[in-house]
Amino acid sequence: MDRDEKKRLRDRIGESLDVSGTRLTDDEARRLSDFLDEYDNKYRGRSRSRTTSHTGWSSDGKFIRKETFTDTFTDEPGIRQDYEYHDDDGQHGASSREVTDARGILNWLRDNP
């Protein structure tokens, strides 16, 4: 890919995702371009959850923690990642974050083939 083509591709990606401070290889730029091209049909509105359970230790002793991770593709290109946990001793919590940067999307695509 020549320099001008890569700049045009990066500018196109930058219309939907934050690319500031992100260095992209030719393959990464193509992968993000494909992601954006397929977003409406393959990703938008879809959600995926994963639940795990494990034991841990605290000052009160052993507990079992159930964790739920949910990735939801938002209306605009991006991913809302929700995390929730419940311990058998009554503790619980939740957090949420939005991934709208190019590197974050690439990392998600790498980790979720």
CATH number of the domain residue 38 falls in: 3.30.1300
C-alpha–C-alpha distance, residues 99 and 102, integer Å: 9
Model confidence, pTM: 0.84
Residue 84's pLDDT is what?
A: 98
Q: How far is CA 26 from CA 45, 50, 69, 95, in A?
A: 28, 32, 31, 34
Per-residue pLDDT of the chain (113 residues; tens, 9 = 90+): 788 888 999 999 999 999 998 899 999 999 999 999 999 999 999 999 999 999 988 888 899 999 999 999 999 999 999 999 999 988 899 999 999 999 999 999 999 87
Task: Determine the pLDDT at residue 89.
Answer: 85
Number of folded domains that form the chain: 1
Q: pLDDT value at position 80?
A: 98
The neighbour count for residue 13, using CB atoms within 10 Å, is 22
Domain hosting residue 86, numbered range = 3-111
